[in-house]
Amino acid sequence: MNIGWLIIGLVIGAVGGAALGYWIRQQRYQEQMGDLEAMRQRLLEETEKQARDTVLNAKEEAINLKREVEQNLESRQKQLRREEERLQTRREQLDGRQERMEKREQTLNKRQGTMDKRWNDLEKLEDQRREELQRIASLSIEEARDILLEQVAEETRQDMARVIREEEQRAQEEADRRARDIITIAVQRLASEQVAELTTTTLEIPSDELKGRIIGRGGRNIRVFEQKAGVDVIVDDTPEMITVSSFDPVRREISARAMQRLVSDGRIHPARIESVLKKARSEVEATMKEQAERAVYEAEVPSLHPEIMKLLGRLYFRTSYGQNMLKHAIEVAKLSSLLAAELGANTEIARMGGLIHDIGKAVDFEIEGTHATIGAELARRYGVSEAIVNCIESHHHEVEQQSLEAIIVEAADAISGARPGARRESLEHYIKRIRTLEEIAKSFKGVEETYAIQAGREIRLIVRPGEVDDLDATRLSRDVARKIEESMEYPGQIKVTVIRETRAVEYAK
């Protein structure tokens, strides 16, 4: 009996202890759950407040986030029932998650702005489509088809324009590369000597005593010489020097030879002057004929009209920037032939056009007009074919080029005149041209510095990047080149380079 009551008392005590322990644990759990519930409620309120301002996609994301938080809280409740010792760890995890939620909130705000903008764009687009549909609804099938075809055609034209631009750029690059190869091959195969000559009209005499004999009594001898030779003889105070001046290079050469012979012989009187001039004229004419025949032989050109041969021979005594015009003509003929062979053009037309392209310079001081138009008119008068006449007339773009051979002659002329050592000019004229070149470049807006380099064959412009952008730089180089062409005369070509540089500078302190 006592044992039964004892067992009952033990059971009741155990039950009571268990109930008491459970009640204590339940109280602790309720307190913790209250804190967690308050935290959860606060998080849910903040999430709902933030999600209320987002668009549909943002709302779905906020709902998913809320569901995730609720699932995490439910998991935490289960874990708290099993592992109270991990409560601190879970709180740290919640702090980290809260920080991520704040970052996500910022991201959602940014997305919200973007979505609002897209939403407005969609509404505008929808209105436009609605108006378009209303307009189309009143159209017939043919009218709707025409509108659709027009839209498709416009889109196709844009695509084709883009493709054409790309192909043109690719073709231009390939053409430039091919042109450089052809010109290089032609110049290497020619390998002509460098021509740099100056026609001088200054003659040395043994002594100043001869000046009086050259002038003669009352200036009789010098007047007869100037009248018969068609030149001006300058006798000044320069020791042992006299100068023969004339625009006609042939007359100047005849006069120089005759004067040199008179001075050497010492017998100077009107009858002797006339005889010496006649003999010098015959020698010069023979020299011109010989040089013309040699030029035709070197250039491998068939026989020409005798008058053209005379004009060609006169070029032997004509120079341009120190370059002998006859040697220049031979060089242009050879270059034209080589370029024509590389490009598949008519080598005969190119060779002859190159040889006589400058015959107008033989008489340009006698006939009004440019040497290209004068030469073309003379060639046409003496039965030269129109294809060759066009090569002469168009090599400075005074008329339109009508054949590939005309373009080749122009290119060969530029190569011959522009190659290093081919031409030179006086220091004064060179400095003036350099200064003019830099002044033209500086006259444009946004140009900070200009530098003429490579003996004036290139001008470099340093521009202010704040005033000239990349597109303006391209336009500026084209405008400067055009103004140089309009305002200056120069041999060969001048390269215009625009340099635009942006620098960012910072100092570490």
The SS3 of residue 383 is: coil
Q: Angle at CA 363, nearest 5°, toward 361 and 366?
A: 130
Q: How far apart are CA 133 and CA 34, in angstroms?
A: 60
Residue, of 204 and 72, whose pLDDT is higher = 72
* Cβ atoms < 10 Å from Cβ of 254: 28
The pLDDT tens digits of the residues spanning 188-231 come to 555 444 443 344 467 777 777 777 777 778 788 788 888 888 88
Structure token pair of residue 247: 């625009």
Note the pLDDT of residue 199.
Answer: 42
Q: How far apart are CA 169 and CA 83, in angstroms?
A: 74
| Right CATH for 427-500 from 3.40.50.1820, 3.10.20.740, 3.30.360.10, 3.30.300.20 | 3.30.300.20
Q: How far apart are CA 261 and CA 74, in angstroms?
A: 126
The pLDDT tens digits of the residues spanning 251-271 come to 888 888 888 888 877 777 888
476 contact partners, CB below 8 Å, separation of at least 6: 444, 446, 447, 461, 463, 468, 498
| Right CATH for 202-283 from 3.30.1370.10, 1.25.40.10, 1.10.540.10, 3.40.50.1820 | 3.30.1370.10
Note the pLDDT of residue 131.
Answer: 75
Structure token pair of residue 246: 């004339």
Angle at which helices 371-381 and 306-314 pack, to 10 degrees?
Answer: 160
Residue, of 298 and 170, whose pLDDT is higher = 298
Lowest average pLDDT, out of 73-82, 171-180, 211-220, 431-440, goes to 171-180
Note the pLDDT of residue 198.
Answer: 42
CATH entry 1.10.3210.10 includes domain 288-418: yes
Report the predicted TM-score, pTM, of the whole model to 2 decimal places.
0.49
Task: Indicate the length of the chain as a whole number.
Answer: 509
Alpha helices in 266-365 (DSSP H): 270-299, 306-314, 325-343, 347-355
Note the pLDDT of residue 186.
Answer: 55
The fraction of the chain above a pLDDT of 70, given in percent, is 84
Q: How far apart are CA 316 and CA 332, in angstroms?
A: 15
Average confidence score pLDDT of the chain: 78
Candidate ranges 213-222, 273-282, 415-424; pick with highest mean pLDDT? 273-282
Residue 142 has pLDDT above 60, yes or no: yes
Q: How far apart are CA 62 and CA 56, in angstroms?
A: 10
Q: How far apart are CA 119 and CA 425, in angstroms?
A: 72
